[in-house]
Amino acid sequence: MTNRRDFLTTIGLAATGITLAPLSACSQDAPRIPSGPEDKPLGAIADVTPLAAALLTRPIPSSGQALPVIGAGTSGSYEVPLASTEFDALKEVVRVFFEGGGSVIDTSPNYSNAEDVVGALLADGGWRDRCFIATKLAADSRDALEAQWADSLRRLRTDRVELLQVHNLRNLGEALPYARELQQAGKTKYIGITHYLERGHADTARIMRDEKPDFVQINYSVNAPQAARTIFPLAQELGIAVIVNRAFDDGKLFAAVRDKPLPGWADDVEVTSWAQMFLKFVVSHPAVTVVIPATGRPDRQADNLKGGTGPLLSQAQQDELVALFG
């Protein structure tokens, strides 16, 4: 039976294009408020129990395909030796991620061995069919792009990816046409462009207008909210899916909240940690399709998934967070 709160949430989500993924989800028994990346021993395994609510999803504008709003990044957190404690922890991270309803994993040939790690994790765990792999092109000549792409497929242990992005707009004149060729050949379902700094927003916006890729990936967080002015309205106008990187400002936001209590209204939006609050801030913007926080720790992965469940933040709550961290 639908209670009043569920009903109101559904109504609110309908207005933002959000739906709920019908998957069992996982989380910690008693979610903690993380104080910093170093506050838990590496390799600690999360005590995961089913989440109370399903992970929200949003459609990719160019196809209508629904994606869970919480994805995973791999920069740093997945750049670990293949036989190591860190790799064993990542096996648990991806189990929590996929069993919790996650799908999008973002990587790049530029993240040292992260593609090898993703490929091994997907193959070992049998997760490839559940994974929406997003990788990148980042090379300075046609020959180098072709060699890099062949390498990416080998390292990811796949014959295609779901999304191929031009990394930081690098060598766009050769990389984007090559990505389109691969899309036409069925080697990637979608193409996109990425940047991660405010100073890249103007060029990113120009290319969005000129090239209309399926996806744009950009930075957005409580302390760097500029994309809500520069990129998001344009993405909505042009029908481009948005992936958000750096939602935690590369982890720096956790130092800023070490002794800070959550806002008094956190319970109302079913948020029990700052990680969930930072992610819920991002997905509360209706232009955002998926946010890709990176972690190598299972308990944090479970915590991050919870940021994509329950009620979204009102505009006033989003503004309050920006004022707090700006």
Ligand X SMILES: NC(=O)c1ccc[n+]([C@@H]2O[C@H](COP(=O)([O-])OP(=O)(O)OC[C@H]3O[C@@H](n4cnc5c(N)ncnc54)[C@H](OP(=O)(O)O)[C@@H]3O)[C@@H](O)[C@H]2O)c1
Binding-site ranges for ligand X (CB under 6 A): 34, 37, 73-77, 106, 167-168, 194-196, 217, 245-251, 254, 275, 292-297, 300, 303-304
Q: Which is nearer to ligand X, 12 or 81 (CB)?
A: 81
CB of 109 to ligand X, least distance (A): 11
**DSSP secondary structure of 248-298:** TTTTHHHHHTTTPPPPTTGGGGT--SHHHHHHHHHHTSTT--EE--B-S-H
Q: Which is nearer to ligand X, 9 or 301 (CB)?
A: 301
CB of 52 to ligand X, least distance (A): 18
Measured at the alpha carbon of residue 139, what is the angle toward residues 135 and 143, in degrees to the nearest 5?
A: 110
Torsion angle of C-alpha atoms 204, 175, 292, 51, degrees rounded to 10 = 130
CB of 192 to ligand X, least distance (A): 9
CB of 72 to ligand X, least distance (A): 8
CB of 203 to ligand X, least distance (A): 13
| 3-class secondary-structure state, position 136 | strand
Q: Which is nearer to ligand X, 56 or 279 (CB)?
A: 279
Q: Which is nearer to ligand X, 9 or 254 (CB)?
A: 254
Residues in contact with 143: Cβ distance below 8 Å, sequence separation at least 6, in sequence order = none
Q: What one-character DSSP code corresponds to residue 20?
A: E
CB of 198 to ligand X, least distance (A): 13
**Quick one: which of 156, 106, 89, 99 has its CA closest to 298?**
89
Q: Which is nearer to ligand X, 127 or 274 (CB)?
A: 274
Residue nearest to ligand X (CB): 73
Q: What residues pair up with 268 in beta bridges, in sequence order? A: none
CB of 66 to ligand X, least distance (A): 21
| Strand runs labelled E in 167-267 | 188-194, 215-219, 241-245
Angular region, 98: left φ>0, alpha ψ -120 to 50, beta rest: alpha
Q: Are 157 and 121 in contact (CB under 8 A)?
A: no
Q: Which is nearer to ligand X, 253 or 313 (CB)?
A: 253
Q: Which is nearer to ligand X, 9 or 34 (CB)?
A: 34
